[in-house]
């Protein structure tokens, strides 16, 4: 192997690293700011008329006491980021984990009456995993039916 080969390889290594670094820089810095998976209520409000009629993802927390169950699987609730909140109407069956205070990402369009019409309701799970104080107290049958009424011991 000639030293010429070695120089070529090292140059390739430096070139590839520089290219990968530049790529990362643009994705994280430049394009990254325009990559948005969901908008929070405040951001939707800031977008103003742009949000009207468009399909967007709205993310936030389900406001306490805002879940109203209607006929069949009809349901409405409020998505909040603590500052602003928006009403959401939903006709699909919510995921099992859906409950007050949990994070949700909803694919919505703004209906005429200012209510967000949900096409897809997703529940986001936090990074917390809690064991119950008394494992025997967790009734798995009940948990499969609903998550209402089961409290995290660490949070109370």
Partner 1 sequence: MKPKTLVVIGGTLLTAGCFWGLLFAPAEVFMGDVYRIFYIHVPTAWNGLLLLTAAFICAVMYLMKGDLMWDDRLEASMEAGVVLSALLTVQGSIWARPTWGVWWNWDPRLTTTAILVFAFAGILALRTSLKEPRRRAMVTSVATIVAAADVPLVYFSVRFWNSLHQIQSSPETVSAAFVWPLRVNAIAVLLLMAGLISIRAETVARLREAGSEPPPLPSAQVEGAR
Give me the residues that bind partner 1 (CB under 8 A), please: 1, 5-6, 9-10, 12-13, 15-17, 19-21, 23-24, 27-28, 32, 35-38, 40, 59, 94-98, 105, 120-132, 135, 138, 140, 143-144, 147, 150-154
Nearer to partner 1, 21 or 70 (CB): 21
**What phi, psi does 153 have (nearest 5°)?**
-65, -30
Q: Phi and psi dihedrals of 15, rounded to 5?
A: -60, -45
- What CA–CA distance (Å, rounded) separates 117 from 128? 30
Between 112 and 127, name the residue whose CB sits nearer to partner 1. Answer: 127
CB of 78 to partner 1, least distance (A): 19
Shortest CB 126 distance to partner 1, Å? 6
In the complex, minimum distance from the CB of residue 65 to partner 1, in angstroms, rounded to a whole number: 19
Q: Identify the DSSP state of 94.
A: P
Question: Torsion-angle region of residue 20: left (phi > 0), alpha (psi -120 to 50) or beta?
Answer: alpha
- Three-state DSSP class for residue 23: helix
Considering the complex, state which of residue 90 and residue 110 has its C-beta at the smaller distance from partner 1. 90
Q: Least CB distance from residue 101 to partner 1, whole Å?
A: 11
- Read off the DSSP letter of residue 125: P
């Amino acid at each position: 192997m000639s030293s010429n080969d070695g120089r070529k390889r090292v140059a390739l290594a430096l070139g590839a690293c520089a290219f990968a670094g530049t790529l990362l820089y643009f994705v994280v810095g430049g394009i990254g700011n325009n990559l948005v998976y969901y908008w929070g209520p405040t951001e939707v409000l800031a977008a103003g008329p742009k949000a009207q009629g468009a399909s967007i993802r709205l993310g936030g927390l389900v406001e306490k006491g805002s879940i109203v169950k209607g006929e069949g699987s009809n349901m409405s609730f409020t998505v909040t980021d603590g500052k602003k909140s928006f009403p959401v109407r939903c006709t699909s069956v919510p995921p099992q984990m859906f409950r007050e205070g949990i994070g949700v990402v909803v694919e919505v369009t703004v209906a005429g009456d200012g209510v967000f019409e949900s096409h897809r309701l997703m529940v986001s799970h936090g990074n917390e995993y809690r064991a119950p104080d008394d494992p025997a107290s967790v009734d798995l049958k009940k948990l499969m039916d609903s998550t209402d009424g089961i409290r995290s011991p660490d949070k109370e």
